[in-house]
Amino acid sequence: MMTYKQIWQLAKNSVCSLRFFNSSGIEMARYTGFKSGNFIFTSDHVNCINRVHSVEINFFETHSSQTEGAVKISAENFCNRIITIDDKDFTGFSLISTEDLRFEYIPSLNLARHKTYSVGQSLVVLGYQIDHTELTLKKAVLSCFTRYKDFTYIQFDGVIVSGNYGSPIFDTETGDVIGILNHSINRDNRAYENMNEIINSNIKLLTHALGKLNASDVDPIQVLIAGQHQIKRLSSEIYKQSTQGIGYALDVIDILQLLSSRGLEISNLSSSYIEV
């Protein structure tokens, strides 16, 4: 069994933060990713962030704010690097090509090829958080396996905060990545997303009614729209500061099987991939 310190030393230089900025330079979202082969694996939520202007990918030097490997690319460039899995509207993960990003020297993490992990096993999560730039290590315990939309998920007890999604989950027995921390399956996250959809729908409906009412030179529809935006901003800030005690990670065995069925093989032996 590997110690937490050994896993930290093994994996720290292979985990990155993904920061999404709008045209005003304001950070809109942050996720964690990790390199395996010529790809960065992360949450599939990076595929659907609206109004993004640029994306910053950072691999950080240990115990320092100095970047060991960092690039900033346009949102269009980032989207063009996403490897899509046809006929699947939900996969739970995203695959980003690192071609021409000068990340050749970043070490590649091993993905588990055999399911040697079981309930009660000690796990490690390495990820970034929304409130600071340092990579963090967290202990976890494998609680159970569950199914969601044809995929196997690893449920574990451990502290999860905003920014952690996309983090690699490590088996302490082998040091291999066994899962990717996912966002969608968590009930609290789904509730937050549903509320955002309702607010956006309200704003869209109210926008169509602009200018049709007037009270003492004040358009009450504008007041209602402003109120909806304030509720949306408040809920976003509460969500970012929330802490969850249960995490769900998409099992990498399912990921590798899905990629293989689409003609893509990720190699643990080198920083390359083989198209079948």
What confidence score (pLDDT) does residue 276 get? 37
Supply φ then ψ for residue 154, to 5 degrees: -95, 115
Tokens of 25: 């330079």
Among residues 173, 126, 122, 166, the alpha carbon closest in space to that of 143 is found at 122
What confidence score (pLDDT) does residue 171 get? 95
What confidence score (pLDDT) does residue 239 get? 58
What confidence score (pLDDT) does residue 275 get? 42
pLDDT winner (highest mean) among 21-25, 65-69, 130-134: 21-25
Query: pLDDT tens digits, residue range 217-228?
Result: 777 888 888 888
What confidence score (pLDDT) does residue 65 get? 47
What confidence score (pLDDT) does residue 136 get? 94
Give the model's confidence band at 86: pLDDT under 50 very low, under 70 low, under 90 confident, else very high.
low
Partners of 177 in the beta sheet? 111, 170
What confidence score (pLDDT) does residue 72 get? 94
**Which contacts (CB < 8 Å, 24+ apart) does range 196-200 have?**
196/232, 196/235, 199/228, 199/231, 199/232, 199/235, 200/232
Query: pLDDT tens digits, residue range 207-260?
Result: 877 877 776 677 788 888 888 878 777 766 655 555 566 899 999 999 999 998
For residue 95, give every residue at least 6 positions away whose Cβ sits within 8 Å of its Cβ, in sequence order, or none. 39, 40, 41, 82, 83, 259
Residue 272: pLDDT above 60? no
What confidence score (pLDDT) does residue 273 get? 40
Partners of 215 in the beta sheet? 218
Residue 143: pLDDT above 70? yes
What confidence score (pLDDT) does residue 89 get? 59
What confidence score (pLDDT) does residue 68 get? 54
Give the model's confidence band at 181: pLDDT under 50 very low, under 70 low, under 90 confident, else very high.
very high
In CATH terms, the fold of domain 4-187+239-275 is Thrombin, subunit H (2.40.10)
Amino acid type, 1: M
What confidence score (pLDDT) does residue 270 get? 40
Tokens of 135: 């990579």
Q: Residue range 251-276: average pLDDT?
A: 73
Instruction: Return d(Cα 172, Cα 2) in angstroms, integer.
Output: 5
Least confident window among 32-41, 68-77, 233-242: 233-242
Query: pLDDT tens digits, residue range 11-29?
Result: 999 999 999 999 999 998 8
What confidence score (pLDDT) does residue 187 get? 61
Query: pLDDT tens digits, residue range 150-164?
Result: 899 999 998 888 889
Residue 189: pLDDT above 80? no
What confidence score (pLDDT) does residue 132 get? 80
User: For a pLDDT cut of 70, what percent of the chain falls above it?
Assistant: 82
What is the average pLDDT value for the chain, to the nearest integer?
83
> Domain ranges in the chain?
4-187+239-275
**Which contacts (CB < 8 Å, 24+ apart) does range 226-230 have?**
228/199, 228/202, 228/203, 229/203
